[in-house]
Structure 1
Amino acid sequence: MSVAESSRARGVDRVVSILKQLHSVRRPMTMRELIEATGAPRSSIYELVTILTEAGWLEAGADGSVFFGREMHYYGSDYAVHNDLISRAHQVILGLVRRHDETAQLCMLEGNKYTVVLSENSSRPFNISSDIGVKVPIPWTASGRLLLGHLRADAIRSLIPEEDFILDNGKRIEVPEFLGDVERAAEQGFFCTEGLSHTFRYCMAAPVRDKNGQAVAALCFMTSRDTDPNKRAAMLEDLIGSAKTLSQPYYGTSFGMAS
C-alpha cells in the first residue's frame, strides 16, 4: 500500500471512529471530546468534522459541539425501506403494540453483543425499553439465549467476554446455567426472563429464522413483572406466531442480514 493509500485508509478509519463515538455516547460531543475519544490528531479531527458537516453527515451546535446530521437520517430511512426484514418487522411490531399495548422490539446480534434494531413503546405510562443500536451483553437478554442456539458450548464460551456474565446489579450468571438456558431456548422455540437486566422487567422473545432454521433475529415483548399471567400467555402466543410469519419468506431463500 502506498503512502497516499495508507493516509486515505487512516482517514476512513477516523471517520468511522467519529461516527461510532457519537453513537456510543448518544449526544453531541465537543471537538476536544472527539479528539480524546478517537486519539486522532487535532488537525485531522477538525478537517474531517468540517468535511462531514459540509456533507450533512454531521451538524454543529451553537456551542461548537457536533452530532449526526440530517443526511444520516435519510440513509437510515433508505436502509429501513430497502431491507425487507426491517420493513416487514416494523409493521409486525406496530401490530403487536396495538393489540397488547406493550413495548415490542426486533433484536439481533452485533459481534459478541446484543442490540435492538427496531422498537415501539406502548402508550401506558410505565414503559420498559432499550435504546436502538446500543450494544448490550448477550447474557443479559432473553433474545441472546435464542440467537446462540446454533453454536456449540465451546463456541459460546469463546464468543462472550467473561465480564458480560456479570449483570448491572453485580449478580453473576454462571456459565453452565447460561448454556442450559441456551439449550432450553432452542428446544422450546422461545424464551422468557424475569428481573434479569431490570428488577421490574419481564421479557419474552421468539426467533425469526433463516432458510436453515437458524435464529438470525428475535421478536421481543418487554413488560412488567406484575403483568397478568393470562395476558402474558396471549402475548407469547401472538409473539411466536408473528415471528414465524416474519421467518416464512426466508425459507428456501438467502437471508440478507448480517449477524
Structure 2
Amino acid sequence: MRQRSIFNGDEDRSGYGQLGKGIGLLEALAAQGSPLSLGDLAERCDLPKATAHRLITMLCDLKMARVTSDGAYGLGQRCLSLGSAYLANLDLRQEAGPIMKALVEEIDETAHLGILDGNKVVLIEKVEPDRSIRMVSRLGSTSPLHATSIGKVLLAHCEEEYLQTFLTTGLEKLTANTITDTTELRFALKRVQNTGYAVNDIEYEEGIRCVGAPVRDHEGAVIAGLSVSCPDFRTPRDRLLTLAPLVISAAQELSRRLGYQP
C-alpha cells in the first residue's frame, strides 16, 4: 500500500524537491511502525528504488533513519530527539498531565489528549490506569477524525470550509459502527456542539468505546480533544455516557489553565 505523504504529487515535489521526498520516506516509516525493506519503502513512496536508496542513505548519515541487522530501514534516534523536543515545548501537554492523571484516578480508564494534524488526530499525551487490560496506543500515532471521539470534537468546531473539504475525501468504514455517510456525520457533529462531548461507540477499533470533550485556548478556539477510552466489556454505552460529565469537567479545567474564560 502506498504511503500518502503531504509531499506526494508533482506539484508539491517541484517545490520541495529532495527534502520533500526524504520527509516522505520518514513519514512512511512512521506510519508503518516497524522497519521496511528498501523495495517496500520505494513502493510506498512511489519512488524509483535507486532514488529511495540514495535518500535513505543520506537520512541514515544524519541519524534520521537507521539500518537494522537484516538490512531493513527504520526511524533513527534523531527523530526521537526532535519529537521529544517538540512535545516538551507544548504548554498544552504540560498543563494536561496533572488533570489527566486525576481523571484516570477517578474513572480507572485510559485518558488521551489529541490535536489536529492535517486530516488526522495525532496523540500527544496519554495516561494509563494500573490495570492488566487497557487500551494500546502510543504517542505520535494518528487516527481518523470521523471515527474517534477526539476527531469528532475537532471536526465539530472546525471551519466549515475545512469540514466540506474533509468530507470529500471519503469516510472509511473501519467497523460495523463507523459513520460513513456525510449527512449522518454532520448530524453527529451537531450533537457534539449541543452536548459538549463526542462518543466513539466502537467506531474505530473493535471492543473500544471512547468519550471526548473539547479543549480551548485563551481565545476560545478548540485546539485539542481530551478523551477516555474503555473496553466495551466493562463499559456499556450507558456507563460511557455517565463518564461524559467527568471528561467535560477535565477538559474545561485544562482550558481554564490555558487562559480560557467562558
TM range (shorter): 0.7 to 0.9
Q: How far did 1:30 drift?
A: 1.4
* Matches for 1:94-113 after TM superposition, within 5 Å: 94-113=101-120
Q: Distance in 1 between matches of 2:192 and 2:80?
A: 36
Q: Distance in 1 between matches of 2:178 and 2:209?
A: 17
Q: Distance in 2 between matches of 1:158 and 1:215?
A: 19
Q: Which moved more, 1:10-19 or 1:183-192?
A: 183-192
Contact 1:167/1:197 (CA < 8 Å) preserved in 2? yes
Which residue of 2 is the match for residue 86 of structure 1? 93
- Which ranges of structure 2 fall in alignment gaps of 5 or more residues? 1-12
Amino acid at match of 1:105: H
Q: How far did 1:22 drift?
A: 0.2
Which residue of 2 is the match for residue 69 of structure 1? 76
2:32 is the counterpart of 1:25: yes
Which residue of 2 is the match for residue 3 of structure 1? none
Question: Aligned to 1:185, what secondary structure does the other structure show?
Answer: helix
Q: How far did 1:221 drift?
A: 0.1
Q: Percent identity?
A: 23
1:208 to 203, 215, 220: 215
Aligned length: 248
Q: Distance in 2 between matches of 1:188 and 1:232?
A: 14
2:252 is the counterpart of 1:244: yes
Which residue of 1 is the match for residue 22 of structure 2? 15
**Cα shift readout 1:143-175 (whole Å, capped 9, x = no counterpart):** 222212234667524322453153333865433
Counterparts in 2 of 1:44 and 1:215: CA distance versus 1, 3 Å = same
Counterparts in 2 of 1:124 and 1:161: CA distance versus 1, 3 Å = farther
Q: How far did 1:107 drift?
A: 1.6
Q: Which moved more, 1:163-172 or 1:184-193?
A: 163-172
- Which ranges of structure 1 fall in alignment gaps of 5 or more residues? 1-5, 254-259
Q: Distance in 2 between matches of 1:38 and 1:214?
A: 35
Q: Distance in 1 between matches of 2:130 and 2:190?
A: 35
Q: Distance in 2 between matches of 1:165 and 1:124?
A: 32
Counterparts in 2 of 1:94 and 1:249: CA distance versus 1, 3 Å = closer
Contact 1:167/1:173 (CA < 8 Å) preserved in 2? no
Q: Distance in 2 between matches of 1:157 and 1:78?
A: 34
Q: How far did 1:78 drift?
A: 1.1
The structure with the largest alpha-carbon Rg is 1
Q: Distance in 1 between matches of 2:257 and 2:104?
A: 23
Question: Aligned to 1:116, what secondary structure does the other structure show?
Answer: strand
Normalising by structure 2, what TM-score? Answer: 0.80
Which residue of 2 is the match for residue 59 of structure 1? 66
Amino acid at match of 2:117: E
* Matches for 1:48-197 after TM superposition, within 5 Å: 48-151=55-158, 156-161=163-168, 163-164=170-171, 166-169=173-176, 172-197=179-204
Q: Which moved more, 1:126-135 or 1:82-91?
A: 126-135
**Cα shift readout 1:204-258 (whole Å, capped 9, x = no counterpart):** 11110123423221100001333388975674333222211221244479xxxxx
Q: Distance in 2 between matches of 1:228 and 1:41?
A: 50
Q: Which moved more, 1:170-179 or 1:22-31?
A: 170-179
Contact 1:129/1:222 (CA < 8 Å) preserved in 2? no
Q: Distance in 2 between matches of 1:252 and 1:97?
A: 23
**Which contiguous aligned blocks of 4+ residues in structure 1 show a shift greater than 6 angstroms?**
228-231
